Chains A and B, each alone.
Chain A
Amino acid sequence: MNRKILDTLLALVGACTFIPGLLEILFGLTGETYTWAILSFGGDYDLWRGLILVASGSLFFFTINQPISVQKRAQAVLASAMIWIVGGIEILSTVLNSIPGGEGSWFNTTSEFLSYYTGPFTPSLLLLPVSLVLVILVSSVEVKNDS
């Protein structure tokens, strides 16, 4: 993969992180929630999540136009790690919320348990697999200038 393709991918992922982050901040400030298809904005800590996504998107943008180097790789990994933290917490919280039952039973029924996994999902959750693939791609590109 050459640098141009890699930079285009970084810019795309950066935009897909930055824009939802801005929207999360917006919905955080207005206190509203919004759902579009399987994507959901708002909820607990949305302002915090939005700030992290905006920062992560910005970091992806910073990596564009840099020569392929360890520095560039590390910046992409750091930006992705920020998405993984937010997305990972979403997954953990969904799993832990889906297990206990309501009144009268210790555990949820199978259908109630599965209903937690049908969405809608926050942007960070959808970005998680994308950023994972991106990190694999960035790591597989040969470093030409290591200084």
Chain B
Amino acid sequence: MLDPEERWRLIDKLARETVEYGADRSTIGSVLAELTVKPLTGIPFALAVLYGFWGFFDAFAGFFTDGFFVPLFDDHWLPWIQNAFPLKGSWLYYILVGDPEAVNSFEALGMLTSGVFVAIGVVLPAIVAFYLIITILEDSGYMPRLAVLVDTVLHKIGLHGFAVVPMILSLGCNVPGVASTRTLETKKQRFMMMILLSVFIPCGAQLGVMLSLIPEFFGYIMIYLLAGFFVFGWILNRLIPGRSPEIITDVPPLRIPTFKNVSRKLWVKVKGFFTNAIPFVLLGVGLVNLLYLGGVISWLANSLEPLFTGWFGIPKETVAPLIAGFLRKDLAVAQLSAIDMSGFQLITSVVIISIYFPCIATFSMIIKEGRNSGGVIKVLGGSLLTLITVVFLWGGLLHLIGILLGVA
């Protein structure tokens, strides 16, 4: 195998023998493509692109959720199903419809009320907006440029610029994010990325719920999670043995995405959400309601109270969302917003929901991909050890910060 120095010498030799140099025929497109990868012009432009990303996300998801789905579910669907569903007062009514006196879909907590509202009214618009932008960025050729721009930063934690692809995919859903770690070169990089993604990168559904329900705390939560990504990335890079090689990559030209390709990709992704995510959301609500009825939630809340209030500084009632979070993080965040707590406790709870454990779908993917990244047992053991360390250290540190600032 050639080392990077030898590879470059070989490339120079091949280039001398094969490339003919003529007059430079730069076009606006080619110069623009060049400017977007140069740090001086590329970073400010990336800042603008990310602004466009969040601005679109905010406007689009807000339009559908606040403008139409909230009135539809709160004023029409909820009162109708509360009256039309038979067996009021039975356990079946409690699981499927929830609280018969609830005045909004969030507080009803039934499978057919909160479950359907979270899946369709909150997450679906967020997912469509997110995947639309991601698809446009992919098809325009801008994504590899972003990879080049963040290459230097990611090198500090033993990764390279193309690790931004799993990162961005994970912002949509952690499952394809974890699956795409197989494009990284070494077992060390794959393991690191799988853990960091599943712990510190919230999925599009969770982001959507956070933006819709707690927009005032969104920035703080994201900064703390991203700080955790780099701090634990740096630590893992030093602790895990293995190589972090350089890569040479081709950056494609900028192109205008075609409507046909964008709509086709968007449809495939949204269809995946309908078939994979919605059953999990409904199942999550049903499971939590069953555990409530069986007294498991109150037993767990009482048993874990010293840890929750003492170490993390959050109320014991967050146990139920934490259990729901194993199935769907977006559902868990939605349930958190209905619990009475201070702003700082809400920030801490959302951070804990994000980092305490990946959702079941991501966890299954980590096990599957673990086979190619050092063996299932090794990856699973390493993951669990890292997860426990991260949740105690990073969650406890946030509580400590709150105490020092006088807000916890």
What is the interface of chain A, defined by CB distance below 8 A to chain B? 44-45, 48-49, 51-52, 55-56, 58-59, 70-71, 73-75, 77-78, 81-82, 85-86, 88-89, 92-93, 96-97, 99-100, 103, 106, 139, 146-147
Contact = CB atoms under 8 A, between A and B. Distances in A.
Contacts of B66: 100
B84 interface: no
Interface in B38-68: 41, 44-45, 47-49, 51-52, 54-56, 58-60, 62-63, 66-68
A85 B49 contact: yes
Given A73-B28, A99-B67, A100-B63, A93 B58 contact: yes
Interface in B14-52: 24-28, 31-32, 35-36, 41, 44-45, 47-49, 51-52
B272 interface: no
Given A45-B54, A85-B51, A88-B52, A56 B44 contact: yes
Contacts of A106: 68, 71
A82 B63 contact: no
Contacts of A78: 32, 35-36, 41, 45
A88 B51 CA distance: 11
Given A56-B48, A78-B32, 14 more contacts: A44-B58, A48-B47, A48-B51, A52-B47, A55-B45, A55-B48, A56-B44, A70-B27, A73-B28, A74-B32, A78-B41, A81-B45, A86-B48, A97-B59
Contacts, number: 91
Nearest to B49: A85
A146 B60 contact: no
A70 B26 contact: yes
B67 A75 contact: no
Interface residues of B, number: 29
Nearest to B57: A89
Contacts of A82: 44-45, 48
Contact of B62 (A51, A89, A96): A96
A90 to B, nearest CB: 8
Contact of A59 (B24, B41, B55, B67): B41
Contacts of B71: 103, 106
24 contacts: A45-B55, A49-B51, A51-B44, A52-B44, A59-B44, A70-B27, A70-B28, A74-B31, A74-B35, A75-B41, A81-B45, A82-B45, A88-B52, A96-B63, A97-B62, A97-B63, A99-B63, A99-B67, A100-B63, A103-B71, A139-B28, A146-B25, A146-B26, A147-B24
A70 B25 CA distance: 10
Nearest to A146: B26
Contacts of B41: 59, 75, 78
B26 A89 contact: no
Contacts of B52: 85-86, 88-89
Contact of B47 (A55, A74, A146, A147): A55
A70 B34 CA distance: 12
Nearest to A72: B31
B58 to A, nearest CB: 7
A67 B58 CA distance: 41
A48 B49 CA distance: 11
Contact of B55 (A55, A81, A89, A97): A89
A147 B62 CA distance: 47
Among B24, B55, B58, B67, find the residue whose CB has the most chain A CB atoms closer than 10 A.
B55
